């Protein structure tokens, strides 16, 4: 074997030293972010990490994450990023604490208990509070809170991932998926496109994106609006007269609604809906929830949906428990959160971001077409009792992608019962989840878990 010269040997030694130093730095950062135990947490075998990744030094924008590693064989399981929508709502409040995360919060906010159907039994789950201003994520430039929108959110999320993978290099080559719900119907495919474009331009820090899974997703303003009104009428939430009034008064193709349209929709919501949870129309609403929150704004202009109340299943007040728990000083200390002393309380949703949202893509359908061509695994699912981003809206949008059907419409099963219905297309799978609201894993955790398993396996939902 040919011997190395002294110069070559020195260069190799330098490279090894840089690699070791870089690896050591990443391990130091991981140790800094490690959660040893959350207050009131039951014993667990998996590791947890949380902290901040700076995405813009000039403005001081930093995004907060919480990683819950897989319960078994974490080194071999894929990584899944979860994003909640709003825009302006927290993945810690919803995804982590009442949907797919390992813990649930007790009513008094004093302690936690385990979620039997946590998705981290199948994958490493990374929750991200995005954009800056959501939850514990922050900016040192207050003007950022009034200029947020789709484009910056996607760009900052990509910067977060690049920084996060540098801190956790053991995940760099892992199969990576993105998931989320509601306005994450924008966040998820927009971030996926950013990653696809980034991978084309960069050969160094390739992100091994395999696909995404998104539920009750804001997709296309026109079809979402039309599908929402159809849902209201077919589910007896509004009268024939109001249905006709909305259809004749509203131009769903317009970027802004007219006063006449707003009046027709407001009449339906204020006089015909009754006191229901619009995110889960057949389950009880939380009597403690304030009627003054954004629950009376029109979901017709879905890019501006400001509704903060969520579907809560058998316990409709879960969000209240999260606000108690994550505002505790000992919890924030354990999670390495609020290290800069954010001048406001942690909340599940940011009113400022929601009201000041700037740019929003009118239709995600062109982006879906690009991502289908890129060969990603794409699943869309819908809880069928959500009246805000209903199953009819998603089906209208998918129909206008005009995809070839591979497996025709069929009922899928779990636990000996119909879990919902599914249709598999060339490049996309659709599934409804029977009896689930806007937050599918909250209302129907077992069915949502089965759906997640099938998605990761890349197999159609079971027919029996």
Q: Which position among 91, 130, 182, 350 bears the catalytic label? A: 182
- Beta strand 79-83 pairing with 61-68: unpaired
* Residue 319 confidence class, pLDDT cut points 50, 70, 90: confident
The span from the CA of 83 to the CA of 188, in Å, is 7
Can you tell me the mean pLDDT for 7-14?
A: 47
| Per-residue pLDDT at 22 | 57
Q: Which residues of 10-36 are buried (b: 16+ CB within 10 A; e: fewer)?
A: eeeeeeeeeeeeeeeebeebbeebebe
Tell me if 299 is assigned to some domain.
no
Q: Does the pLDDT at position 384 exceed 90?
A: yes
Residue 426: give the domain boundaries. Answer: 24-220+361-457
Tell me if 137 is assigned to some domain.
yes
pLDDT single digits (tens) 391-418? 999 999 999 999 999 999 999 999 999 9
Can you tell me the mean pLDDT for 427-451?
A: 97
Identify the three-state secondary structure at position 372. helix
What percentage of the chain reaches a pLDDT higher than 70? 88
| Per-residue pLDDT at 288 | 60
Tell me if 343 is assigned to some domain.
no
Q: What is the rounded (10 degree) CA torsion for 414, 420, 426, 428?
A: -90
The span from the CA of 406 to the CA of 320, in Å, is 44
| Per-residue pLDDT at 318 | 82
Backbone angles phi, psi at 233, to 5 degrees: -70, -45
The span from the CA of 114 to the CA of 312, in Å, is 17
**C-alpha Rg value of the chain to the nearest Å:** 23
Q: What CATH number is given to the structural domain containing 404?
A: 3.40.50.1820
The span from the CA of 386 to the CA of 433, in Å, is 11
**Sheet containing strand 61-68, strands side by side:** 34-35, 48-56, 61-68, 124-129, 79-83, 176-181, 209-215, 377-383, 428-433, 417-425, 405-414
The span from the CA of 179 to the CA of 376, in Å, is 13
- Beta strand 176-181 pairing with 79-83: parallel
Query: Quick check: 270 and 296 in contact, CB under 8 A?
Result: yes
Q: Which two three-digit tokens encode residue 224? A: 């979402």
Task: Please enumerate in sequence order all residues whose Cβ is within 8 A of that of 21, keeping only pairs 6 or more positions apart, or say none.
Answer: none
| Per-residue pLDDT at 301 | 40
Tell me if 248 is assigned to some domain.
no
Q: Which two three-digit tokens encode residue 97? A: 């604490």
pLDDT single digits (tens) 149-159? 999 999 999 99
| Per-residue pLDDT at 171 | 97
| Per-residue pLDDT at 311 | 30
| Per-residue pLDDT at 267 | 96
Residue 288 DSSP code = T
pLDDT single digits (tens) 274-285? 999 999 999 988
* Residue 23 confidence class, pLDDT cut points 50, 70, 90: low
pLDDT greater at residue 65 or residue 290: 65
The span from the CA of 63 to the CA of 300, in Å, is 30
Residue 291 DSSP code = T
pLDDT single digits (tens) 328-337? 999 999 999 9
| Per-residue pLDDT at 286 | 80
Q: Look at the chain and count its residues.
A: 464
Q: Which position among 156, 220, 277, 386 bears the catalytic label? A: 386
| Per-residue pLDDT at 4 | 44
Q: In which residue are the tokens 């239709």 written?
A: 363
Tell me if 266 is assigned to some domain.
no
pLDDT greater at residue 311 or residue 443: 443
- Active-site annotation holds for 438: yes
Q: Which two three-digit tokens encode residue 218? A: 């804001």
| The model scores a pTM over 0.85 | yes
Query: Quick check: 403 and 428 in contact, CB under 8 A?
Result: yes
Number of independent structural domains in the chain: 1
Half-sphere exposure of 161 (CA within 13 A, CB side): 28
Residue 364 DSSP code = S
- Beta strand 112-114 pairing with 124-129: unpaired
Tell me if 415 is assigned to some domain.
yes
- Active-site annotation holds for 175: no
- Active-site annotation holds for 386: yes
Q: What angle do CA 151, 155, 161 make, to 5 degrees?
A: 150
Identify the three-state secondary structure at position 352. helix
112, β-bridge pairs: 105
* Residue 287 confidence class, pLDDT cut points 50, 70, 90: confident
pLDDT greater at residue 290 or residue 312: 290
Tell me if 261 is assigned to some domain.
no
The span from the CA of 3 to the CA of 303, in Å, is 65
Tell me if 135 is assigned to some domain.
yes
Can you tell me the mean pLDDT for 177-194?
A: 98
- For the chain, what is the mean pLDDT? 90
126, β-bridge pairs: 67, 81
Query: Quick check: 177 and 456 in contact, CB under 8 A?
Result: yes
- Number of CB atoms found within 10 A of residue 290's CB: 10
Query: Quick check: 405 and 65 in contact, CB under 8 A?
Result: no
Q: Which position among 130, 384, 438, 454 bears the catalytic label? A: 438
pLDDT greater at residue 158 or residue 294: 158
Q: Does the pLDDT at position 20 exceed 80?
A: no
pLDDT single digits (tens) 217-270? 999 999 999 999 999 999 999 999 999 999 999 999 988 889 999 999 999 999
pLDDT single digits (tens) 85-122? 999 999 999 999 999 999 999 998 999 999 999 999 99
């Amino acid at each position: 074997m040919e011997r190395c010269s002294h110069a070559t040997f020195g260069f190799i030694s330098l490279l090894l030293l840089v690699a070791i130093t870089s690896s050591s730095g990443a391990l130091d950062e991981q140790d800094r972010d490690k959660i040893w135990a959350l207050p009131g947490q039951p014993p667990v075998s998996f590791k947890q990490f949380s902290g901040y990744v700076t995405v813009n030094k000039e403005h001081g924008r930093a995004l907060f994450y919480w990683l819950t590693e897989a319960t078994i064989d974490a080194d071999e399981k894929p990584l899944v990023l979860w994003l909640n929508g709003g825009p302006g709502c927290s993945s810690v409040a919803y995804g982590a604490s009442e949907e797919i995360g390992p813990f649930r919060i007790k009513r008094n906010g004093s302690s936690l208990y385990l979620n039997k159907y946590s998705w981290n039994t199948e994958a490493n789950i990374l929750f991200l509070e995005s954009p800056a201003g959501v939850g514990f994520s922050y900016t040192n430039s207050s003007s950022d809170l009034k200029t947020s929108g789709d484009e910056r959110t996607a760009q900052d999320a990509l910067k977060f991932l690049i920084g996060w993978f540098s801190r956790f290099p053991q995940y760099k080559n892992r199969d990576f998926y993105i998931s989320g719900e509601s306005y994450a119907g924008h966040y998820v495919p927009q971030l996926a496109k950013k990653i696809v474009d980034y991978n084309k331009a960069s050969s160094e820090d390739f992100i091994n994106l395999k696909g995404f899974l998104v539920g009750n997703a804001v997709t296309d303003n026109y079809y979402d609006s039309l599908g929402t009104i159809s849902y209201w009428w077919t589910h007896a939430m509004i009268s024939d007269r109001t249905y006709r009034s909305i259809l004749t008064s509203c131009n769903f193709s317009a970027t802004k609604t007219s006063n006449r349209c707003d009046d027709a929709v407001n009449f339906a919501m204020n006089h015909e809906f009754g006191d229901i949870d619009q995110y889960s129309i057949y389950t009880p609403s939380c009597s403690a929830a304030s009627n003054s929150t954004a629950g009376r704004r029109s979901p017709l202009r879905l890019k501006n949906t400001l509704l903060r109340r969520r579907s809560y299943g058998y316990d409709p007040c879960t969000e209240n428990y999260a606000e108690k728990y994550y505002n505790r000083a000992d919890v924030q200390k354990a999670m390495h959160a609020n290290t800069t002393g954010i001048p406001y309380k942690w909340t599940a949703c940011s009113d400022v971001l929601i009201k000041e949202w700037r740019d929003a893509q009118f239709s995600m359908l062109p982006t879906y077409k690009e991502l289908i061509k890129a060969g990603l695994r794409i699943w869309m699912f819908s809880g069928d009792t959500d009246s805000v981003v209903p199953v009819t809206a998603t089906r209208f949008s998918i129909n206008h992608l005009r995809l070839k059907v591979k497996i025709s419409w069929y009922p899928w099963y779990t636990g000996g019962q119909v879990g919902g219905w599914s249709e598999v297309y060339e490049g996309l799978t659709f599934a409804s989840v029977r009896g689930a609201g806007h937050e599918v894993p909250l209302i129907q955790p077992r069915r949502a878990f089965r759906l997640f398993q099938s998605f990761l396996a890349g197999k159609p939902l079971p027919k029996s």
